[in-house]
Amino acid sequence: MVLDEISQRLTSHDFEVQTKRICSPSFDKVLELDKKLASESFIFSVGTLGLNEAKENINKLLSTNNVSFNLDLTGGDINEARLDILFKIIKINPQKTFNFTYVFNNKPETPFFPSASYEHDGFSVGLQPTDLSEGCKNLKEWLGRMKKTWDEVNYLLNDYKDFLGIDSSIAPLYQGKSSLIGFIKKLGYDFSESVTTDVYLQITKFLSKNNPRPVGLNGLMFPCLEDFELAEEYEKGSFSIERNIYLSLHSGVGIDTYPLGVDESPERVIEILRLVQGLSNKYSKPLSVRFVSDGDSKIGERTNFKNEYLKDVVIRKI
């Protein structure tokens, strides 16, 4: 398998391959692979589905091992029919909210799920570059390490004719060296104060200018519950939905793993989706919205996701 060959080339140069990801518009083939390779380090996506296609296949999607998909809301009215997909997932299999997102002006071929969508045969690479911040004394040092890493990946894979490029998005996880907010704090910023500085703009400007082979989103991810130090800010009330949208508009790629109470008003969710749609279209900026729910917790209650990638928090009203 070509993916194994690519992985071997990277690991032989001290890279760690966390997952191999396959996105294909062949719905049945993806489901077949999901069953066949469920015990291996593969995750799958059917990419962007139309509303009717998603509705017709929702039960199949929710019974898979690890298959993601997204719904494009760039155009058209955002109504209850489009919202029903999310609430049906919450009702039937809430753990699968982790595998679903709404997208707006999406960029194809990102390796980051569930935003991924297929356009061409080939492969792209995504990194977890927050780990490179360990030991860095300033922002310039971290950015320099990222540039060196992108150049090395590009050099190692350049001879593959199907190499589409690198999505240089910052994808934080957990805490300490892997947390973007943790690094921001190490630079001497209080998180709330950092939001009204240009530190995030500096990072995204660097991403856009220095990626040797860009593909996909290439922005900052603010995954509310995957970056555990950001989850702590959420619990303190420092990462409201408004602040998330503000950061996404100038530096980020959307609302990501944001907790949703089962008693949240559907009308309020529609308002958020319409706002993100309007901002995405106004500024021609790729954005997404991924709400997550454990299927039981209401506003004011602590979640119980049973998901190693999501930190449990007390849910706030959006």
Looking at residue 175, what is its pLDDT? 84
Looking at residue 173, what is its pLDDT? 87
Give the whole-angstrom CA distance, residue 112 versus residue 47. 11
Type of residue found at 306: K
The enclosing H or E element of 270 equals helix 266-283
Averaged pLDDT, groups of 10, the chain, 318 residues long: 84 89 92 85 92 94 94 94 95 97 96 93 93 92 96 94 94 89 94 96 95 94 96 97 96 96 96 97 96 98 96 97
Looking at residue 1, what is its pLDDT? 57
Q: Are strands 287-292 and 100-104 parallel, antiparallel or unpaired?
A: antiparallel
Looking at residue 19, what is its pLDDT? 87
Q: What is the pTM of this model?
A: 0.93
The CA distances from residue 262 to 62, 202, 259, 303, in Å, are 18, 37, 10, 11
Listed in sequence order, the residues at least 6 apart from 196 whose beta carbon sits closer than 8 Å to its beta carbon are none
Listed in sequence order, the residues at least 6 apart from 253 whose beta carbon sits closer than 8 Å to its beta carbon are 115, 169, 217, 219, 220, 221, 286, 287, 288
Q: Are 174 and 134 in contact (CB under 8 A)?
A: no
Give the whole-angstrom CA distance, residue 25 versus residue 119. 9
Encoding tokens for residue 233?
């800010």
Q: How close are the terminal C-alpha atoms of the chain, in Å?
A: 45
Give the whole-angstrom CA distance, residue 258 versus residue 310. 10
Looking at residue 57, what is its pLDDT? 93
Give the whole-angstrom CA distance, residue 264 versus residue 108. 31
Q: Are 129 and 178 in contact (CB under 8 A)?
A: no
At residue 254, the 3 state secondary structure works out as: strand
207-237: b (≥16 Cβ within 10 Å) or e: beeebebbbbbbbbbbbbbbbbbbbbbbbee
